[in-house]
Amino acid sequence: MEEKIKELKELAKQEIEKVTNLEELNNYRLKFSGKQGLLTEIMRGMREVAQEKRAAVGALVNEVRTFVEGVIKNLEEKLNEKKLNEKLSNEKIDITEPSKEGEYGAIHPLYKTFNKLIDACVELGFEVVTGPEVEVDKYNFEKLNVPKDHPARDMQDTFYITDDILLRTQTSSVQARVMENRKPPIKIVSPGRTYRVDNDATHSPVFHQFEGLVVDKNVSMLDLKMTLNKLIKILFGENTETRFRPSFFPFTEPSVEVDVTCPYCGGTGCNLCKHTGFIELLGAGMVNPKVLDGCGIDSKVYSGFAFGQGVDRLCMVMDKIPDMRMLFESDMRFLNQVK
Ligand code: DAH
């Protein structure tokens, strides 16, 4: 019997050397320490062992069992670790691999245009100020020299919320707010969303404007022309020419409309500029003294100029967009074309 047990231990020693994976280890466990295994078989044979020898033989069997269980546990840990390492090295992520899915986003064409305007104005020393889109009549009209009965109100079909509260029709409302709250020198631009009851290929009920205001001592029409000429050259290039035409805005006196040489044909005439060589870009003028005084700035001491422009139209010109509403439809085919 002892001989048999020693042979079993010897066999267990030899066979564990051959085990290379968890499956083989499991077979080994079944063969030696399983319910039907060799150790159980030996235990069954204990009945035949003489009474006085049983304790010694039992101890011998236990020693083999401890040995077998020990080597199994040991090897199992090693094999599990090996398996995990293999898995980890196979799963290695190549961070340089380009992604197969997903698309790159882009800045909306309108905001690209805004950014160009803002960058150019910041370069010229302007500060960016924004104001509310839901505005009171006072800042959108009254303070800008457009009283309740003024015919200029007809030019701006307004969305009224109450008699006194409306969606601002122009970013000029920010001028009124700033002039009321600050002392000159003032040099601000104000980008933002504006609203009017309009909807066709060149008008959208939601559109965007960009406003500029400078107020200080001795500000003249020359400052206006110099600043706008410089701004336009930054935006459209050094060779761009400007044309100032007399116009009317209630909050500026005198008022002008500013045209620039067509950025496509360079002034020779094309479809975009309707063969005039120029495109209309912005409205501007010297701040009406009534507006200054109405906002608490003494018009005998200070003067100023202002300008305002539709950003959507500028964007349409720059990106050759035929219908303003395309800017707001969020159609990816369109946005991918102009990004
Ligand atoms: N607010 C005017 C509009 O919506 C544009 C404008 C014209 C703004 C002249 C100005 C300005 O600041 O001086 O039509």
Compute, in angstroms, the gap from residue 22 CA to the centroid of ligand 1. Answer: 81
Contacts of residue 28, Cβ cutoff 8 Å, sequence gap at least 6: 15, 16, 19, 72
- Residue owning the nearest CA to atom 7 of ligand 1: 283
Q: Tell me the pLDDT tens digit for each residue of 120-173.
A: 999 999 999 999 999 999 999 999 999 988 877 776 689 999 989 999 999 999
Comparing CA positions, the residue from 234, 232, 253, 252 lying closest to residue 242 is 232
How much of the chain is helix, strand and coil, in % rounded to 5?
Answer: 45, 20, 35
DSSP-assigned letters across all residues of 206-252? EEEEEEEEEEETT--HHHHHHHHHHHHHHHH-TT--EEEEEEEETTE
Distance from C-alpha of 61 to C-alpha of 115, rounded to nearest angstrom: 86
Distance from C-alpha of 236 to C-alpha of 257, rounded to nearest angstrom: 17
Ligand 1, residues at Cβ distance < 6 Å = 170, 172, 211, 249, 252, 283-285, 306-308
Q: Tell me the pLDDT tens digit for each residue of 15-29.
A: 999 999 999 999 999
**Secondary structure class of 98 (helix, strand, coil):** coil
> Whole-structure pTM over 0.85, yes or no?
no
Compute, in angstroms, the gap from residue 306 CA to the centroid of ligand 1. Answer: 8
- Residue owning the nearest CA to atom 5 of ligand 1: 308
pLDDT along the chain (339 residues), means of 10: 89 93 93 91 86 88 92 94 90 83 82 94 96 97 92 78 94 97 97 90 87 98 96 90 95 96 86 88 97 97 97 84 83 82
Of ligand 1's atoms, which has the minimum distance to the CA of residue 155? 14
Contacts of residue 306, Cβ cutoff 8 Å, sequence gap at least 6: 172, 175, 211, 212, 213, 214, 251, 252, 284, 285, 287
Say if residues 68 and 33 touch (Cβ distance below 8 Å): yes
- Residue owning the nearest CA to atom 2 of ligand 1: 308
Q: Which amino acid is at 203?
A: H
Compute, in angstroms, the gap from residue 172 CA to the centroid of ligand 1. Answer: 6
Compute, in angstroms, the gap from residue 241 CA to the centroid of ligand 1. Answer: 21
**Mean pLDDT over the full length of the chain:** 91
Query: Six-digit token pair at 169?
Result: 């029709």
* Top mutation candidate among 153, 211, 305 for ligand 1, by most atoms within 8 Å of CB: 211
